[in-house]
Structure 1
Amino acid sequence: MADIFSVSVKEIVDEHKLEVIYAPKDISEILVYDNDCNRPGLQLMGFYEYFNAERIQICGNMEFAYLASLDEEVRRARIETLFKTKIPLFVVARGHELYPEMIELAKEYEIPIVRTPESTTTFIAALIAFLNLRLAPRITRHGVLIEVYGEGVLIVGESGVGKSETAIELVKRGHRLVADDAVEIRRVSSISLVGSSPDNIRHFLELRGIGIINIRRLFGIGSVKVTEKIDLIVELEPWEKDKIYDRMGIDNEYTTILGVKIPSLTIPIKPGRNLAVILEVAAMNNRQKKMGYNAAQDLLDNLGLQMDTKDKVKNWDSF
């Protein structure tokens, strides 16, 4: 069974600086589970087919103009029908003044009401972006997430392979640490993953022989970042003499996490290899590929050869 995530009304109010008009109880106890919202124009006209009462309802100029066209008795009945569905939150946009019956019915049916001076469209866009992030499907994976030249690089591999040591060298070279050891990965859209660190271990990093260090304290605020989109997955593994490693980069390797395909690389390690420099080059090369340039293709074109590209996909969803 899939995990069900929620966000409290208090978090929504704090994030968007909303004015609380009425709350039936502590708003930190009122939870929202749906990452979409609704403008209840049709519902105020009496149409409730396909209506999802778990969504936040937002009223702006159009809804208030329609309510103003109704006589008081009809208006009260339409608002009551909406509030009877037990919606989690009623938002008034553009700073509109509420009708007295709205407050009265909100108290009767225990519906929290908040207000924003923002336009309805602007507020909805910001709210959906916030809800998509907070309610996104997520998993936690062992690894290190670091931003390298604007690319989010997730470093994975067996324990003790050198992930944290590579991360500390990258931080010294001016890049930013997002998470060490445990990376919380969220699918914020059908094509995007965002990684972050659990709150209780954020900015901490373990170095064998030294122990726990605080990257933010040692290297400053510019050395860390709270979240980062995952653009590339790099798996570090001990060099195996008999294994054949990709030397041209012709084949495209991907790793699927939460249904999203992310470009990936396997980098063998042995004494003398500068992993920090290798990962910097990998990040820049990945950005180049996204911009449409492939060095292997360019070389083969110069040699008059054709490139037979294959996609190799590894699925983490089943792990």
Structure 2
Amino acid sequence: MKSITVKQLQDRFKLEVLAGDNQMHREITRPRAHRPGLEFVGYFDFFPMNRVQVLGRKEINYLHKQTEEERNLHIGNVVKYHPPCFIVTSQQEGLKYLMIYCQQEGIPLLRTNETTTEFLGKLDAYLIQALAPEISIHGVCVNVSGIGILLRGKSGIGKSETAHTLIRRGHRLVADDIVVLKKLSSQTLLGTHNGTTKEFLALRSIGLINVVRLYGRKAFQDETRIVLDIELCPWQDQALNNELELEPKYTEYLGVRIPHIEIQLQPGRDVAGMIEAAANSWYLKQQGYSAAEEFMKRIEGDMK
């Protein structure tokens, strides 16, 4: 199971440590944070104890209004489950009682000056991505006109060279050779690099190039949502057809189905142009447009 430490979370959001600074190594394994509410009054049937606990103005104001005895009981109900950490939002004050409990139980207590709504949005987005299931595959990832594409094929078939042509046409490299795929949801697959290969593209006969140094920042982006899986294949006579609309095929990664296209290679064939056409065609289909349907309507109109 993937995890991050409370220290990593603190560094990412520049959080102030109020208590438990010797427990920053504690691990966070669950995406999405939780705001304890019913738990303060003793209802724990569905308490996600393994999640980061966020205390906004609503929760802190509630605790402030309790007697010391009630407050100690309510806080004790929650801290005894030892969640990874507590984060107080909006730079709220008067937290001495909370600091004492967290220090005694060895739970980090952190604080941010951001509002609860603003902070929770950022925190959940970060945790979902940081803790997402992931795999690494051999291929190239590019963003073509805002559309994330995974290029696959046997070694030496021309994936990197095709990516270079696309970059020259104004599109962006995400990853070369090793593509890291992260599952953000049942329908969302994110493609990114592994850090080591960031901005680098390996071209046979040329060697390693840094696309940002050669073509500027517009030639690279850190990540993209993968919506097309394109496989470059050797040319096979009689293997291609000219049907108006091909039967859709899919490839599955981490349980997420991605539309799959095969492009056969032949000297003189504009592979980069075909990838651009595939990307634009996918976009139009998302808007409800089908070229084949329009073509058939024209034929029917001519027959009438």
Q: TM-score range by the shorter chain?
A: over 0.9
Of the structure 1 ranges 122-131 and 160-169, higher mean CA displacement relative to structure 2 is found in 122-131
List per-residue Cα deviations over 1:41-75 (Å, max 9, x = no partner). 11111111121211111111221222123210221
What residue is the counterpart of 1:316 in the other structure?
none
Shift of 1:103: 1.1
Of 73, 81, 103, the residue aligned with 2:99 is: 103
What residue is the counterpart of 1:192 in the other structure?
188
The one-letter code matched in structure 1 to 2:227 is D
Structure 2 unaligned segments of length 5 or more: list them.
none
List per-residue Cα deviations over 1:172-217 (Å, max 9, x = no partner). 1111100001100011122111100001111111111222222222
Distance 2:66 2:148 in 1: 54
Asked if 1:19 corresponds to 2:13, the answer is no
**8 A Cα contact 2:174 2:220, kept in partner:** yes
Distance 1:296 1:6 in 2: 47
The one-letter code matched in structure 1 to 2:152 is V
Of 70, 80, 95, the residue aligned with 1:84 is: 80
Distance 1:69 1:103 in 2: 17
Distance 2:97 2:281 in 1: 61
Q: Specify whether residues 31 and 60 from structure 1 end up closer, same or farther in structure 2 by C-alpha distance, changes over 3 A only.
A: same
Instruction: Report matched runs for 1:106-185 at 5 Å.
Output: 106-185=102-181
TM-score where L is the length of structure 2: 0.94
What residue is the counterpart of 1:302 in the other structure?
298
Distance 1:143 1:132 in 2: 24
What residue is the counterpart of 2:223 in the other structure?
227
Shift of 1:157: 0.9
Shift of 1:102: 1.1
Q: Specify whether residues 106 and 256 from structure 1 end up closer, same or farther in structure 2 by C-alpha distance, changes over 3 A only.
A: same
Asked if 1:44 corresponds to 2:23, the answer is no
Residue identity (%): 37
Of 2, 6, 9, the residue aligned with 1:9 is: 6
List per-residue Cα deviations over 1:146-192 (Å, max 9, x = no partner). 11111111111111111000001111111110000110001112211
The one-letter code matched in structure 2 to 1:7 is I
List per-residue Cα deviations over 1:16-44 (Å, max 9, x = no partner). 332222233263x2221000221111111
The one-letter code matched in structure 2 to 1:275 is V
Shift of 1:7: 1.8
The one-letter code matched in structure 1 to 2:138 is H
CA RMSD in angstroms, aligned pairs only: 1.7
Of 53, 69, 73, the residue aligned with 1:57 is: 53
Q: Specify whether residues 128 and 104 from structure 1 end up closer, same or farther in structure 2 by C-alpha distance, changes over 3 A only.
A: same
Asked if 1:211 corresponds to 2:173, the answer is no
Shift of 1:144: 0.5
Q: Specify whether residues 98 and 85 from structure 1 end up closer, same or farther in structure 2 by C-alpha distance, changes over 3 A only.
A: farther
Distance 1:246 1:71 in 2: 78
**8 A Cα contact 1:250 1:296, kept in partner:** no
Shift of 1:296: 1.4
Distance 1:207 1:71 in 2: 70
TM-score where L is the length of structure 1: 0.90
The one-letter code matched in structure 2 to 1:56 is V
Asked if 1:243 corresponds to 2:247, the answer is no
**8 A Cα contact 2:232 2:263, kept in partner:** yes
The one-letter code matched in structure 2 to 1:19 is E
Distance 2:26 2:47 in 1: 20
The one-letter code matched in structure 2 to 1:53 is M
Q: Determine helix, strand or coil for the equivalent of 1:264.
A: strand
Distance 2:169 2:22 in 1: 50
Of the structure 1 ranges 63-72 and 242-251, higher mean CA displacement relative to structure 2 is found in 242-251
What residue is the counterpart of 1:73 in the other structure?
69
Q: Determine helix, strand or coil for the equivalent of 1:141.
A: strand
Q: Determine helix, strand or coil for the equivalent of 1:267.
A: strand
**8 A Cα contact 1:250 1:297, kept in partner:** no
